[in-house]
Amino acid sequence: MRNRQGVRLALLAFLVWGGCSEPADELPREPVSGTVTFEGKPLEKGMIQFLPAVGRGETQAGGPIENGSYAIPQHEGPVPGKYTVVITASAGSTAAPPGAPGKEVAIPKERIPAKYNTKSTLRAEVKKGERKPWDFDLKK
């Protein structure tokens, strides 16, 4: 009798716990994917972000770039709209500036020019149902 009651409690706890997970949002997200090259070669490792254009209500999305390719699945993708695309890739690190407070920490050095990240000129317009690749060929 005790075993049955324990099993029932465990099953009830599992059902309650399983039902409490956060549901996926209801936004009309789109998958995005493509390639990123830098100076004619696939970007080995980096990050890509789709940031909403100024004053727009879109959501941001991003993911890793590996061996020149990236793929952001639909459940993590951007909603249809206009975006600024930001691409970053670390080129090792540099020491913290002298006199900086606290412990000296290595700061990653950006390999990609600012015109593709902090001052990005890259743009994309994600459209509902459009599955075209977003390829970016970056130059110094």
What confidence tens digit (pLDDT) does each residue in 70-79 have? 999 999 999 9
Domain boundaries, the chain: 26-135
Residues 40-52: tens digit of each pLDDT: 999 999 999 999 9
Q: Are 126 and 78 in contact (CB under 8 A)?
A: yes
Residues 79-130: tens digit of each pLDDT: 999 999 999 998 865 555 666 566 666 677 899 999 999 999 999 999 999 9
pLDDT band for 25, please (50, 70, 90 cuts): confident
Residue type, 45: K
66-71-75-80 Cα dihedral, nearest 10 degrees = 130
Question: What is the mean pLDDT of the segment spanning 37-66?
Answer: 90
Which architecture characterizes domain 26-135 according to CATH?
Sandwich (2.60)
Of 19, 29, 103, 34, give the one whose Cα is nearest residue 65.
34
Quote the strand ranges of the chain, DSSP E. Answer: 32-38, 41-42, 45-52, 61-66, 69-72, 81-88, 90-94, 107-110, 122-126, 136-138
What's residue 82's pLDDT?
A: 92
What's residue 11's pLDDT?
A: 45
What's residue 22's pLDDT?
A: 47
pTM: 0.73
